[in-house]
Each structure stands twice: as C-alpha cells, then as structure tokens.
A and B are shown apart, each in its own frame.
Chain A
Amino acid sequence: MPAKKPKTVQVKWVTKGEFTSMVDSRAKRVHGISGKQFITRWKNGRYRKLDADTCPGAVELAILAPLPRNKSGRKNSKRGRR
C-alpha cells in the first residue's frame, strides 16, 4: 500500500551559505554574472532601469538579494503591512 502523501509541504530553513549560493545561482541564470557582481553593480546604480519584461527573473532576484533599499520606497511600506 503506497504511503499517504502529506497534505502540507515542508519548509526548509536555509543557512546564510545556502542562501548566498541560491542568489549566486540566480544571478548567473538571470544576468550571467555572480551574485557578488550583481550586488556590486546594483549598489553602483547599474540596474536603476531594471525591467521585468526585458529581463524576466530580475525583479525577483533583486528582492531576494541582500541589497540596500532606497528610502523613497519606504514611505509606501506601511501600506504593505499584513
């Protein structure tokens, strides 16, 4: 008799190393560069005109990566409270 599949999936809490590795892998997939290079370029303003359509996956990478957030966006943050 087959095992009954669990109704709720697992959550895997990852370490900083695993997370950094994931960001690196995504940066290579989306931009063809390392995670470190992506973060450096972001800080230098290279992606100010980031567009999700011309570069799918880029926005997702940007919100996942440990990047500095601009202050102008923070004024909206209260609206996002859940």
Chain B
Amino acid sequence: MAGKTPREAADNFVNFLRETLSCISDHFVSAYQQSEKLYKIYYEPYAKVTAKNGDDYLLSVTQIFRAIPHPEQKGQFKATTQEYSYRLLGGPKENTEILAYHWHPHDPGVKFPHLHLKDSPRIHFPTSRVCLEDFVRLLIRDFQIEPRLKDEEWKEILDRNKRAFEKMATWKIQNP
C-alpha cells in the first residue's frame, strides 16, 4: 500500500477499498483530494445492495485518510485512516439507518470507535477498530446481502485485503 508520492499511496489505498466494496456493489466510489495529503472516499448517492430475499438496502461508506511519510520505508508514503463511517440503511431516508460503525476522534463527542444500532438509540457501543472488509463480510453473512462475485472470489478478496490492512495498521484490529 506504500507509494513513492502521497498521491500514489492514496491511489493504492483507494484501490483496496474499491476492490473490497466491489464484492457487494457495482456502484462507483467517489474520491476527493482535499489537500496534498488529505483524501476522502464516499458513496454519492448511497449504493444500493440487495439481500437474497429481495430486500433492498442502502449502503453509505465514508473513509477519511491522510498520506504520510512511511515510518519504516524511507522515501515512501503510506495511507493512514483518520475517520470512518460505515452505515446500512433500510431506505432512502436518513432515519431508516439500521446500524452505523463510527470512528471520528477529531469531532465533538465520543472519541473511541463505536457502533450505533437502530433499536438502541443514543447508545455508543464500543468496538475495536473495524475494517471495511469486516463490515462487508458482516453484510454478506448476517444480512444476507447478495455478493456480486463467486463465493471463492469475494472471500479471497476480503481475506487478502484484511491481511494487507492488518499488516499496515498501526492500531491493530481485535479479531472476533
């Protein structure tokens, strides 16, 4: 995931995210370079995903990251996540949100990564850091979201990208 320039590191990181999201949606991913080192990835509009029983959901994924000098590879840059939001909605209105994984330590309020559930309003369930691959796997496994790819393909992508994430993450995931 490292790159010779901040932009190359960002491109590499974005490619991981889009490959992971490709497992469940064919919706394009939007990316914005706010400054030389600050990047934002999001869905606009939200991506439609469909469960095996035919139910439709909307997916909103937002990831904010910086490209910083690589601490171990001189002259290289790496991406470092600054904030994230992964949300599943039951319909087009914001109040149909079913769950949301948040980590936004730079904003007011709760600084640790947490989970919001529709049925438990105002509760911030503490979580480990949640990677996008685990969120996508949750949708396929527990919400029965129909994968776009064959089982062996999406499993291989999620496993491979999660391994890459774990290798590069300064703050490690606590696996279930």
Which residues of A line the B interface, CB within 8 A?
Answer: 5-14, 16, 18-19, 22, 25-26, 29-30, 47-57, 59-60, 62-64, 66, 69-70, 73-74, 76-82
Q: How far is the CA of A6 from the CA of B103 in the complex (A)?
A: 31
Contact A81 B169 (CB under 8 A): yes
Q: How far is the CA of A48 from the CA of B109 in the complex (A)?
A: 7
Query: Knowing A57-B94, A77-B106, A80-B171 touch, does A10 contact B29 (C-beta < 8 A)?
Result: yes
Give which listed residue, B21, B30, B60, B121, contacts A14 with CB less than 8 A: B30
Main secondary structure of the interface of B (DSSP, over half): mixed
Query: Knowing A22-B44, A48-B108, A80-B129 touch, does A64 contact B80 (C-beta < 8 A)?
Result: no
| Contact-size category for B | 35 or more
Which residues of B line the A interface, CB within 8 A?
Answer: 1, 13-15, 18-19, 21-22, 25-34, 40, 42, 44, 60, 62, 64-65, 68, 78-85, 87, 94-95, 97, 100, 102-109, 111, 116, 121-123, 129, 148-149, 153, 165, 168-171
A-B contact count (CB 8 A): 151
Contact A12 B29 (CB under 8 A): yes
Give which listed residue, B32, B81, B107, contacts A70 with CB less than 8 A: B107
Shortest CB-to-CB span from A14 to chain B, Å, is 5
Give which listed residue, A13, A51, A63, contacts B104 with CB less than 8 A: A63
Contact A62 B107 (CB under 8 A): yes
Contact A9 B129 (CB under 8 A): no
Q: How far is the CA of A72 from the CA of B89 in the complex (A)?
A: 31
Shortest CB-to-CB span from B39 to chain A, Å, is 10
Contact A63 B83 (CB under 8 A): yes
